């Protein structure tokens, strides 16, 4: 360890890992796991996600993340999603693509896209994605407080195991139950779970081009949010934060449009500043609007809403209204 460089290498993921932990730990814990997870050699992967995912600690803490607080919904994340969308009209089972944006102009004032953009423009495969297939099994237990794996998530870096990790949620929920469920994650499915962070960032760069293409094809402002639409490898809390920032931008746009029309300021064409629509952009339609119809990864605006029922009311409320549980220290 004393021979390691003072600053981590940034050539690729392998170089980064070797520079912070040396060859032995890298070979045991990282190399084969990365090959299984990403389907390619670590020398082809960017180092960029390494600082958030990999590291050596001397503080005695064994938890994966170092956040001071954590929260697990008593009834799972699905309960939160259901509470958030309960007051919102939903259209399910409908496919929306870039060709539908022109038709949305008559009824909606903006669109938030959370879908994979290569699929949204009708050219799947232009972006690289990595998916996992989960195999779950129920295990009955006599002790209702018992679990069967050492931790909530257990990584399996060896190539002897075809899966990358197991997840046993009972470690987090801590509820008494006459059994437990252990899920194993097998990489390589066609799902779009992970953006692929290559050394040359070619996918990130192409995703920016797709965002520009979609903006040019849309007669109304377009916002991009989430891991898929922004092609970023982020955690759940970061995705929630990104969603709130996006909602605030949409809400500000709505208030700006309403204020401009109240003052009699003429409508203007939407302008784009550093990839985001300026708050001063006018939507060119009257009234206040609520962003409340979700379909196929697109969140559109309902123009029957009243002034106090725009995106801000839906998204800028206290999270405690929806979580229905208590936060606890991560050290507990």
Q: What is the pLDDT of residues 73-106, one digit of tens each?
A: 877 788 888 898 899 888 888 888 999 999 988 8
The strand pairing partners of 113, in sequence order, are 224, 298
Residues 6+ apart with CB under 8 A from 253: 110, 221, 277, 279, 281, 283
Cα-flanking dihedrals φ and ψ of residue 171, to 5°?
-60, -35
Residue 99 lies in a domain: yes
Q: Do both 32 and 160 map to the same domain?
A: no
The average pLDDT across 278-299 equals 30
**Distance linking the first and last C-alpha atoms of the chain:** 32
Residue 234 lies in a domain: yes
Averaged pLDDT of the chain:
79
* Sign of the dihedral through C-alpha 59, 62, 65, 69: negative
- Residue-range definition of the domain harbouring residue 164: 135-195
pLDDT band at 296 (very low <50, low <70, confident <90, very high): very low
Residue 313 lies in a domain: yes
Residue 163 lies in a domain: yes
Residue with tokens 């066609």: 190
Whether residue 248 is predicted with pLDDT greater than 60 in this model: the reply is yes
d(CA 258, CA 264): 10
d(CA 89, CA 39): 40
Domain count of the fold of the chain: 3
8 Å CB contact between 87 and 221: no
Q: 3-class SS at 168?
A: coil
Whether residue 268 is predicted with pLDDT greater than 70 in this model: the reply is no
pTM: 0.75
Residue 63 lies in a domain: no
């Amino acid at each position: 360890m004393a021979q390691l460089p003072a600053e981590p290498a940034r050539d690729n993921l392998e170089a980064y890992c070797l520079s912070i932990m040396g060859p032995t730990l890298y070979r045991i814990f990282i190399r084969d796991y990365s090959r299984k997870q990403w389907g390619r050699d670590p020398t082809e992967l960017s180092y960029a996600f390494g600082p958030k995912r990999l590291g050596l600690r001397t503080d005695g803490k064994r938890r994966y993340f170092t956040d001071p607080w954590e929260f697990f919904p008593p009834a799972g994340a699905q309960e939160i999603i259901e509470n958030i969308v309960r007051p919102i009209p939903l259209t399910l089972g409908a496919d929306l693509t870039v060709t539908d944006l022109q038709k949305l102009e008559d009824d909606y004032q903006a669109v938030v896209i959370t879908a994979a953009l290569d699929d949204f423009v009708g050219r799947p495969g232009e972006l690289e994605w990595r998916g996992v297939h989960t195999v779950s099994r129920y295990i009955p237990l006599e002790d209702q407080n018992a679990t069967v794996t050492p931790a909530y998530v257990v990584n399996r870096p060896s190539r002897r195991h075809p899966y990358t990790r197991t997840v046993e949620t009972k470690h987090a929920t801590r509820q008494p139950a006459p059994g437990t469920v252990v899920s194993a994650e097998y990489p390589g499915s066609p799902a779009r779970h992970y953006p692929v962070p290559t050394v040359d960032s070619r996918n990130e760069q192409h995703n920016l081009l797709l965002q520009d293409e979609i903006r040019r094809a849309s007669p109304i402002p377009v916002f991009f949010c989430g891991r898929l639409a922004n092609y970023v490898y982020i955690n759940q809390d970061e995705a929630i934060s990104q969603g709130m920032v996006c909602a605030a931008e949409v809400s500000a746009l709505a208030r700006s449009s309403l204020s401009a029309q109240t003052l009699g300021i003429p409508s203007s064409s939407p302008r784009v500043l550093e990839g985001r629509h300026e708050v001063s952009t006018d939507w060119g339609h009257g009234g206040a609007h609520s962003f409340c119809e979700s379909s196929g990864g697109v969140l559109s605006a309902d123009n029957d809403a009243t002034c106090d029922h725009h995106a801000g009311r839906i998204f800028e409320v206290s999270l405690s209204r929806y979580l229905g549980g208590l936060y606890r220290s991560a050290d507990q």
